[in-house]
Structure 1
Amino acid sequence: MSVEVMRAGLLATVQDHGRHGHAALGVGSAGPMDAPALRLANALVGNVPGDAVLEIGLIGPRLRFIETATIALTGAEFDARAATAPLPAWRPVHVAAGTVLDFGRARRGAWAYIAIAGGIDAARVLGSASTDVNARLGRAPLRDGDVLGVARADPVASGGHPRDGAALHAIGTFSLDPRPWFDPDPSRPIRLAPGRHAVALDAASRDALHAQPFRVAADSNRVGLRLDGPRLALAEALELVSEPVAAGTLQLPPGGQPIALMAEHPTTGGYPRIGQVAAIDLARLAQRRPGDTVRFAAIDIDDAQTRYLACENQLDRLCADIAARLDGIAR
């Protein structure tokens, strides 16, 4: 099975769970901006969690499915359609051979995930098929005329194919409620634990970090979100060496406008680390678009960890339920 890229869109890359365990070599993890959305997309088409999918940002691609395929779209709300037929999101859908799907622009949110049953066929570098745009690891971002292959046979093909000439055919009667997993509302605060250098901020900056809004700058990308807003400053200059950083680390460059590191973050950084976005809110932050407001609310490490584990348990249960439903349809 293969898919032709008729138009690549703004930034479409192949992503899986990421390239982990190589930070000591200076190799970052890459992986998805919105990890739960990627995981649920794979679950909806019967893939294993580590299968590669297509991540699309803000302006989506136009794809022609050369053969019949099963796909699922999760994450940001895109105006995806085959001619006049809208593509339903957050559920498995069979796509007829020859169908052209145009993903248009994102109406809400920034990043969406297109899983194809069987997983996208892409070479693995250091154990992952994820594209790291800046490090030039993995497959290059999609370009017009590219062809995507699929790694394995469709695991849910027996659930039915498009009938009566229809381009799209939803599988079964179930779909996911996106609200627990997709929340781009800029009015809701992002929970932030104190970083190692939070105490080094001057008093006005400590107050401003949680009391005043920031906006996602236009030059934000998969490496990090640059936040425009109140200028933050240290009470005294610090002598720092580069130390490990993670997705969600909030750094403070000399200009005073913080940067929240994201999926393609470097492995180390030398700027003061004034906060750490709670893991449970990383996907919510990733779905903020340029110009969107970001407000921070304080959270302690224990609460952040408890909430993260509860979310992971909920995801595990949901993925198991999806697998059972797909098995019932196949039977």
Structure 2
Amino acid sequence: MMDSLFVIDPGPFATIQDLGRFGYQCFGVSVSGAMDENALRVANILVGNGEGEAAIEFTLAGGSYRVEADVCRVAVAGGDFPVSINDIPASSHACHTLGRGDRIAIGHATTGARGYLAVAGGFDLPEDLGSRSTHIRSALGGLNGEGLSAGARISLRAPGALDGPDLSLPFALWPHGEGSIRVVLGPQDYLFTQAGIETLLSSEYKVSPKSDRMGCRLDGPVVEHAGDFNIVSDGIARGSIQIVGDGQPIVLLADRQTTGGYAKIATIISADLPLFAQRRPGQSVRFEAISITEAENLRETMLDGLEHLRESMVATGSANRETEHLLRTNLIDGVVGGVY
């Protein structure tokens, strides 16, 4: 039997995701990919994978899995999810080496909404159009294009050399708080009244329970259109904020449709998409407009921070090392003092 990870309980919703399926939107194929790309990258870095390797993405709770391999290194990153190995509490944002029959369980998040379980070597799954990301509506990627279910087995690829100790981040890397989500206005902000734009930027919205990987509905004050709310359908970028006919915003996310006919008042900047992806139903959202140049600079800062993550890792259990230095270091945009 091939080495595998056995799904005991997938939790509320779990899929296989990598960084997405690019180059096919012109054919109507969704990009998909991890909702929180930073957390996916962190999980992969911890187990020694390339940053874009496919992992299990789970929402609100992580479920439980059993190792069916002689050795398997795993790591959980993302929201603040309690982790246990064989019913013994273990750290998230840390690598753990497991053996055949070992069980890892991931509970309900106390902070954030999404997490990632990465395994060293990655999952031995075929690519669909260059990606292993699951897109359920088109049955692409993952395990037969479906979400994970109890009793499934996910084949493991043989990892490279597993020399050296398990590694961890010497600080918590959890999304927290309800700070503003930064946006760039447009591309159709001219189709809204000035009052409508000010409403979006000055009001508090709540994440609706009627949200999924395709889009996040926000409940709050109505955003006023200047005229008709429809446009000739055009392409949709991740993080686009479209205002539907009732004046309520919908943020389009990883599984978004490729084109749409509602006017888009603004777009969440790349650096804040991971933060937005961790907002839970009922959590508050406020928006702040910045310039394109500022958005580009913030993205570069975020990517530079990710490059330095490997330098900050310590052997699991050595989390107090160089704490003063690390707390002065902004490793990812919005990550200071160990949180983001």
Q: Distance in 2 between matches of 1:234 and 1:252?
A: 8
SS at match of 1:289: coil
Deviations 1:262-298 (A, max 9, x none): 1111111110010000110000000000000000011
- Picking from 66, 69, 91, the partner of 2:68 is 66
What aligned pairs does 1:290-329 form with structure 2 within 5 A after superposition?
A: 290-319=281-310, 321=311
The two structures have a TM-score, normalised by structure 2, of 0.86
What aligned pairs does 1:114-133 form with structure 2 within 5 A after superposition?
A: 114-133=117-136
Residue 273 of structure 1 pairs with residue 264 of structure 2: yes
Q: Which amino acid aligns with 2:156?
A: V
What aligned pairs does 1:44-83 form with structure 2 within 5 A after superposition?
A: 44-67=46-69, 68-83=71-86
Tell me the equivalent position of 1:177: 171
Q: Which amino acid aligns with 2:199?
A: A
Q: Distance in 2 between matches of 1:146 and 1:4?
A: 6
Residue 109 of structure 1 pairs with residue 103 of structure 2: no
Q: In 1, are the aligned partners of 2:79 and 2:175 still within 8 Å (CA)?
A: no
1:96 Cα deviation from its structure 2 partner: 3.1
Q: Distance in 2 between matches of 1:176 and 1:241?
A: 50
Q: Distance in 2 between matches of 1:239 and 1:10?
A: 35
Q: Which amino acid aligns with 2:177?
A: D
Tell me the equivalent position of 1:329: none
Q: Distance in 1 between matches of 2:90 and 2:230?
A: 53
Q: Distance in 2 between matches of 1:324 and 1:90?
A: 11
SS at match of 2:216: strand
What aligned pairs does 1:19-34 form with structure 2 within 5 A after superposition?
A: 19-34=21-36
| Structure 2 unmatched runs, 5+ | 317-340
Q: Which amino acid aligns with 1:300?
A: S
1:232 Cα deviation from its structure 2 partner: 1.2
Deviations 1:16-51 (A, max 9, x none): 111011111111110000001101111111112232
Count, aligned residues: 310
Q: 1:97 to 1:292 in 2, by over 3 A?
A: same
What aligned pairs does 1:95-106 form with structure 2 within 5 A after superposition?
A: 95-106=98-109
Q: In 2, are the aligned partners of 1:250 and 1:277 still within 8 Å (CA)?
A: yes
Tell me the equivalent position of 2:325: none
Deviations 1:274-323 (A, max 9, x none): 0000110000000000000000011111100111012112212324x379
SS at match of 1:259: strand
Q: Distance in 1 between matches of 2:315 and 2:309?
A: 11
- Picking from 130, 146, 159, the partner of 2:164 is 159
Q: In 2, are the aligned partners of 1:52 and 1:121 still within 8 Å (CA)?
A: no
Tell me the equivalent position of 2:326: none
Q: In 2, are the aligned partners of 1:118 and 1:155 still within 8 Å (CA)?
A: no
SS at match of 1:13: strand
Q: Distance in 2 between matches of 1:177 and 1:48?
A: 22
Tell me the equivalent position of 2:152: 146
1:91 Cα deviation from its structure 2 partner: 1.7
Q: In 1, are the aligned partners of 2:229 and 2:243 still within 8 Å (CA)?
A: no
1:238 Cα deviation from its structure 2 partner: 5.1
Question: Which sits farther off after the overlay, 90-99 or 283-292?
Answer: 90-99
Tell me the equivalent position of 2:328: none
Deviations 1:95-116 (A, max 9, x none): 2321222212111111101110
Q: In 2, are the aligned partners of 1:28 and 1:267 still within 8 Å (CA)?
A: yes
Tell me the equivalent position of 2:140: 137
Q: Which amino acid aligns with 2:257?
A: P
Deviations 1:181-226 (A, max 9, x none): x42322x000011012223222332221111100000010001110
Q: In 1, are the aligned partners of 2:233 and 2:260 still within 8 Å (CA)?
A: yes
Structure 1: 4+ residue segments shifted above 6 A: 322-326
| Structure 1 unmatched runs, 5+ | 161-170, 327-331
Q: Which amino acid aligns with 1:286?
A: A
- Picking from 11, 14, 30, the partner of 2:13 is 11
Q: In 1, are the aligned partners of 2:221 and 2:248 still within 8 Å (CA)?
A: yes
Q: In 2, are the aligned partners of 1:247 and 1:265 still within 8 Å (CA)?
A: yes
Question: Which sits farther off after the overlay, 59-68 or 206-215?
Answer: 59-68
Q: In 2, are the aligned partners of 1:70 and 1:154 still within 8 Å (CA)?
A: no
Q: Distance in 1 between matches of 2:66 and 2:85?
A: 10
Q: Distance in 2 between matches of 1:238 and 1:175?
A: 47
Q: Which amino acid aligns with 1:292?
A: Q
Residue 289 of structure 1 pairs with residue 289 of structure 2: no
CA RMSD of aligned residues (A): 1.9
- Aligned-residue sequence identity (percent) comes to 34
Q: Distance in 2 between matches of 1:71 and 1:92?
A: 6
Q: 1:13 to 1:199 in 2, by over 3 A?
A: same
Q: Distance in 2 between matches of 1:239 and 1:256?
A: 12
